[in-house]
Amino acid sequence: MSESQTASWGGSHSLLRDFHSGLLTLLHCLESLPFIFDRLCLTVAETQRIAIEMRAIMDYITIYRPRMLATNIAPRHSIAVDRELIGVFTTDPIIVEEFYRAKIPVWHLLKLDRLPFTRIDAYTLPLDPNQYLTLRSPRIRLQSVFIGASDQAEKYKAFQHFTRNHMRLLNPFALVPDQVRSDPPLPEPLPSTSRSKPYDRPIQREKQVQPIQSPSSQMGFLSVIVHPRLPSAVLVWRAAVEVTSSDCSRCYPEARVPEANGYIFPRPDIFIGVQDERKSLELIKAWLCLRPLLLARVSCSSYSAQLIAHQSWRVILNLDHLMKAARSGGASSSRGTPTKAAKRREQAVDFLQGCAGELQIDADFNVGAAAWRGIELEKLTDDHRHEISWELAELNFKFELFALDA
């Protein structure tokens, strides 16, 4: 639908304009946002419902409403009833007359005591709903959005409210409500030429013992990792990052909270900086096992995903390696110590906090072989690892950009 067509819509087309905006938003969500399969099915169903209702409103405005308001009644057989329409059951005789004029199927419900005074021309059996409707329980367990009579206007308002909330993803980076703040202080000159790089570490940096520095000498600048498996940085953005101070004292107070300096997903350089091939495969396997759960927690609009620091992500993905190192070092586990599988299940429950009641996902994700788009872990090529790193970079970029736009 072009802008020239929507520009002529007046006040009576406000509902049509709302459906048009909602349809565009749903299509944008399907195109750009990450979803698990169940959430994707729900979004597709919502898109279909919005499209059908929008078409119904357009037909009502252009075809059926003029027929209802017509003063002259057309001959009985001049316009055939559209049997593809669902129609309506009503007890209001005015609605019966309007729908009869518009040639829309309508059923007039009467009380049983009116039966002796009612003319019956034909008798038919009702259709079996199993042939036309899906009656099985959905995979996504959603809460009831409306409980009441079907003819109440609040029902449609509840549907609209649910659809808008479903299309809206909460800002996962929001910590405090918006408030008026003054600009942070300007950075002070560095006392030395050494720069720390907390944003990343070079891949092959020689290990050396750094002397303990004062807080004023630890102020540094961010930097960008360059690697063939990572997306290439835009030159303008890279130049801006490399002149950005990493001094936390210049940040707003709420940004100094440790939880604010986290990520929705692991940074892709976790896989890049590992030299051991076996350990690299273990990290990739851990991510592939966690991937559906992490996508599930950002697919639930009623839950803000927990930010996790970069080092915490490294610990989570290295859980297998850390447990093996603890056992090889002579650490014995007692009965009260949770097992590796139990720790992973606890992590999964924590990841799914807030949306576990909606999505039917098995939290025991450490069972079975990991795969990337149907390809087993042992058969992954450099191109496949390239795809995995790019997807992580895109996911983090989308949610950081969303936080800036919120």
Both tokens of 379, joined, read 């058969």
106-108 vs 88-90, strand pairing mode: parallel
**How confident is the model at residue 214, as a pLDDT?**
33
* Residue whose tokens read 């303990």: 212
The pLDDT of residue 309 is: 77
Roughly what angle, to the nearest 10 degrees, separates helices 382-405 and 277-299?
Answer: 40
Q: Buried b / exposed e across 296-307, counting CB within 10 Å, b at 16+?
A: bbbbbbebbbeb
Q: Quote the CA–CA distance of 313 and 344 in Å, as a whole number.
A: 13
Give domain limits for the chain. Answer: 12-114+151-167, 258-329+338-405
The H or E element that residue 98 is part of is helix 93-102
DSSP state of 83: T
Q: Per-residue DSSP letters for 89-129?
A: EES-HHHHHHHHHHT--EEE---GGGGGG-------PPPPG
CB-based contact 361:352 (threshold 8 Å): yes
- CB contact at 8 A, 267 and 312: no
Amino acid at 372: W
Torsional class of 394: left (φ above 0), alpha (ψ -120 to 50), beta (otherwise): alpha
Question: What is the rounded distance in angstroms from the CA atom of residue 167 to the CA atom of residue 163?
Answer: 6
Write down the residue that tokens 């650490």 correspond to. Answer: 331
Within 10 angstroms of residue 246's Cβ, the number of other Cβ atoms is 18
Q: Where are the alpha helices (DSSP H) in 269-381?
A: 269-272, 277-299, 310-317, 319-328, 340-351
Q: What is residue 221's three-state secondary structure?
A: strand
pLDDT computed for residue 273 by the predictor? 73
Spell out the residues 6+ positions from residue 350 whose beta carbon is closer than 8 angstroms to its own: 306
CA-derived radius of gyration, the chain: 30
Pairing outcome for strands 371-372 and 106-108: unpaired
Please report, to the nearest 10 degrees, the dihedral formed by the alpha carbons of residues 27, 32, 38, 44 taken in order: 10
Closest by Cα among 311, 320, 220, 206 to 269: 311
- What is the distance, to the nearest Å, from the Cα of residue 153 to the centroid of all Cα atoms in its chain? 29
Q: Which two tokens stand for residue 251?
A: 């940040």
Mean pLDDT, consecutive 10-residue stretches, the chain (406 aa), reads 54 70 78 71 84 86 86 67 83 89 88 86 82 76 80 82 64 47 51 43 42 40 79 82 76 60 82 79 84 76 71 75 57 55 62 60 59 85 88 85 68
CA angle 162, 163, 168 (to 5 degrees): 100
